[in-house]
Structure 1
Amino acid sequence: MTLKVTNLYSGYRQVPVLKDINFEIKFGEIVGLIGLNGAGKSTLLKTILGLLKAQKGEVSIDGTTIQANHSQYAQQLAYIPETPILYEALTLKEHLEMTALGYGISTEVVMERAEPLLKLFRLDKHLSWFPAHFSKGMKQKVMVICALVTDAKVLIIDEPFLGLDPLAIKHFTNLLKERAEAGSAILFTTHVLSIAETLCDHYLMLQAGQLIASGDLPSMQMQLNKPDASLDELYVMIAEEGLASEVGGEV
């Protein structure tokens, strides 16, 4: 069972940002999507989520596409955005109840699943709070909890560590490992490569809308002809090459 992207072209106003993207993520794997700002990471995530329509190619989850069965496809996805998206008129508890409704899970089950997460992130005393009273980090934790109480087999996460304190980052990375071990596929973007290097099974490296390297670190070292480079060194090398090509000369 996989999240599969095949010959994908996607972008805005018929102008492709992504060009011929191909990869698979098996259920149980954690994959890091890395690249400079503007490389196409957000476009890829939005296309997988169905927020952007692919211009060409296909995205499928366990063989199901959004075109073939929108409801079944969507039920298998959970999303944690870079900037928390909360409803100002709903309390934390009501956000969890709305999540239950959206995924067809009973409120009782969702609250039971949420209880240890709320305690872990120190939000168990704030179920009646509205988002206006939350810090950015607290809002991000709400998004994390709402995603993790679902039965989604694919987690799409955009810059998950922004706004989280070191303790919350530790808890969150452990939860992602547990979720992968339970059989979920996880795709996340991050510029915090030190965390990615310890957390990810594989990587996808985007540059100018194209997938220029993928696989585990040894595979990417071989693809980029840098056998001894760390993930950070590979990223810096590709970033500098990309910037140099943009200006037509040396950075």
Structure 2
Amino acid sequence: MIRFDHVSKLYGEFEALSDLNLTINNGEIFGLIGHNGAGKTTTISLLTSIIQATYGEIYVDDLLLTQHRDAIKKRIAYVPDSPDIFLHLTAREYWQFLASIYGVSKDMAEQRISDLCALFDMTDKQDNLIDSFSHGMRQKAIIIGALIPNPDIWILDEPLTGLDPQASFDLKHLMKEHAQAGHTVLFSTHVLSVAEQLCDRIGILKKGQLIFVGTLDDLRQTYPDKDLETIYLELAGRQQESAGS
């Protein structure tokens, strides 16, 4: 279980995340939904220890993140919001590097790499430089790297961006399987249809504030006369300008 307890992140006077209180349960896919700049990546960056909170605490299974960073980081598979990293390594070098960091045995790493490459149609690309890949192929390379150690917590920041339909389908299937095994998947998106397909619960962020937590059915019941897109835009989007203004 992941718990954010009154977490805020400030950059000077700008509050990128404001007093976040949120619990993400084991065995669920939890979606962070919001426009660009809403606070999704900030929330994920705090949990993955890329940045540190200005106020508040984060717990993973009652372990305080600030006191157990290394142990918690080894329990997390992380896909960042951009795949443009480690461009001067080959895909295989990148995957082997991650396997060594997580302490995955050589035999297990090779098996995981083989299985994931077959799934994502990357078998013949293993020895190519990541810099030579298209955006979608870079995304697949980063996803494969994250999933090689198969830790219990998957944190995926806009993971479907740039993927072809088959790779997108396969990743969504893996996410569902991971949650069904009792593990945790936290991912961000601004695509409502993806959230509807995958999420057990969602959290909607707007300008650094969490404005809704619950299931999509909860959201529909709160606004029974409106479709999902309209509800979301009224909550998270710009306020509609009055006619003639």
* SS of 2:23 mapped into structure 1: strand
Partner of 1:182: 181
* SS of 1:244 mapped into structure 2: coil
Partner of 2:139: 140
1:19 paired with 2:14, answer no
In 2, the alpha carbon distance for the partners of 1:140 and 1:216 equals 28
Deviation at 1:228, TM superposition (A): 4.4
Question: Do 2:205 and 2:236's aligned partners in 1 also have CA atoms closer than 8 Å?
Answer: no
Partner of 1:194: 193
* SS of 1:99 mapped into structure 2: helix
In 2, the alpha carbon distance for the partners of 1:230 and 1:198 equals 16
Partner of 2:236: 239
In 2, the alpha carbon distance for the partners of 1:65 and 1:220 equals 31
In 2, the alpha carbon distance for the partners of 1:15 and 1:131 equals 35
Partner of 2:113: 114
Q: Which runs of 5+ in 2 are unaligned?
A: none
Return the letter of the residue paired with 2:177: E
1:173 paired with 2:172, answer yes
Question: Do 1:32 and 1:187's aligned partners in 2 also have CA atoms closer than 8 Å?
Answer: yes
Relative to the length of structure 2, the TM-score reads: 0.92
* SS of 2:22 mapped into structure 1: strand
Partner of 1:226: 223
In 2, the alpha carbon distance for the partners of 1:219 and 1:187 equals 19
Deviations along 1:73-114, one digit per CA (max 9) or x if unpaired, are 111112111210432332111111111111111122122112
Question: Do 1:16 and 1:55's aligned partners in 2 also have CA atoms closer than 8 Å?
Answer: no
Return the letter of the residue paired with 1:198: Q
Deviation at 1:10, TM superposition (A): 1.2
Question: Do 1:10 and 1:18's aligned partners in 2 also have CA atoms closer than 8 Å?
Answer: yes
Deviations along 1:148-172, one digit per CA (max 9) or x if unpaired, are 1123222111111111111111111
Taking the TM superposition and a 5 Å limit, the aligned residue runs for 1:1-251 are 2-13=1-12, 15-222=14-221, 225-240=222-237, 243-244=238-239, 250=242
Return the letter of the residue paired with 1:238: L
In 1, the alpha carbon distance for the partners of 2:60 and 2:226 equals 33
In 2, the alpha carbon distance for the partners of 1:196 and 1:146 equals 24
Question: Do 1:197 and 1:231's aligned partners in 2 also have CA atoms closer than 8 Å?
Answer: no
Question: Do 1:66 and 1:74's aligned partners in 2 also have CA atoms closer than 8 Å?
Answer: no
* SS of 2:141 mapped into structure 1: helix
Question: Do 2:57 and 2:65's aligned partners in 1 also have CA atoms closer than 8 Å?
Answer: no
In 1, the alpha carbon distance for the partners of 2:229 and 2:147 equals 29
In 2, the alpha carbon distance for the partners of 1:179 and 1:51 equals 24
Identity of paired residues, percent?
35
Return the letter of the residue paired with 1:244: Q
Deviation at 1:71, TM superposition (A): 1.0
* SS of 1:125 mapped into structure 2: helix
Deviations along 1:202-231, one digit per CA (max 9) or x if unpaired, are 000111211111110132345xx4124443
Deviation at 1:28, TM superposition (A): 1.4
* SS of 2:16 mapped into structure 1: strand
Q: CA-atom RMSD, angstroms?
A: 1.8
In 2, the alpha carbon distance for the partners of 1:239 and 1:75 equals 34
* SS of 1:37 mapped into structure 2: coil
In 1, the alpha carbon distance for the partners of 2:149 and 2:12 equals 33
Question: Cα 1:23–1:230, aligned 2, differ >3 Å: closer, same or farther?
Answer: farther
